[in-house]
Amino acid sequence: MDFKAPAFPPPHVRHSQEILGDNMSESITLAERLSKALRDSDTLDSWNQIGEGYKSLRGEVEGTIAQLKKSHVNPATVVVVMAEVNGGLLMIRSSLPDGYGKLALPGGYQGANETWQEAGVREVFEETGVVLDPKKLMLQSVETIEGNINLLFAFHTKKISWGDFAPDKNKVLSVHIQTEAVECAFETHTRHLRRYFSYLRRLVSAAV
């Protein structure tokens, strides 16, 4: 009976090897040896003979993947900035799938080679074109959200005036100056927006 050797390693094993790279050199060597045995064979008996070798390879790949999943991964940090610009709060209308078309505060992930203050002003500039002073950012709150992401809310303590906005069209549909609380793209943004405008109302009431 003619026997056509199946592709070896199977697709899921090949994918695992691509992920693991050089760490799987011994397993890849074994896979190549078994693959050659398959190419040289034309009977079902040959497949049965190398069955134990395949099981060994599969076990090693799965074991290494399990170890990688348990490895230490540092949580990400997202910096969200609240800045008073032109008499209101600087906000964006997101063009990202998550929250598309809804208002949000500018912000984003902190890079590996920058402080959270530098990350905050960089994200504001990228999303709106507005230049802020990192030394004027004051940390307001920190909370950990789904995915173990540390969310930092910061307030720019200096009010500024700005002319032309230059939003990143890949992430932002438009830039807005908000003067009242609204429902935002993200629940955490909504909460901080309401807190901010509630604080302003209390200041006005106290001054009357």
pLDDT digits (tens, 9 = 90+) for 54-67: 666 666 766 766 66
Percentage with pLDDT > 70 across the chain: 65
The domains of the chain are located at 11-70, 77-207
pLDDT tens for 166-207 read 998 888 999 999 999 999 999 999 999 999 999 888 887 787
Q: Return left, alpha or beta for 160; rule: phi > 0 is left, psi -120 to 50 is alpha, else beta.
A: beta
Closest CA to 143 of 79, 72, 74, 73: 79
CA 25 vs CA 20, 50, 130, 148, 161: distances in Å? 9, 19, 50, 33, 59
Dihedral of the alpha carbons of 127, 84, 80, 174, in degrees to the nearest 10: -30
Q: What's the predicted TM-score (pTM) here?
A: 0.65
Q: Give how far the C-alpha of residue 51 lies from the chain's centroid of Cα atoms, to the nearest Å.
A: 41
- Does residue 140 surpass a pLDDT of 80? yes
- The architecture that CATH gives domain 77-207 is Alpha-Beta Complex (3.90)
Host H or E run for residue 187: helix 187-207
- Phi-psi category of residue 138: left, alpha or beta, with phi > 0 → left and psi -120 to 50 → alpha: beta
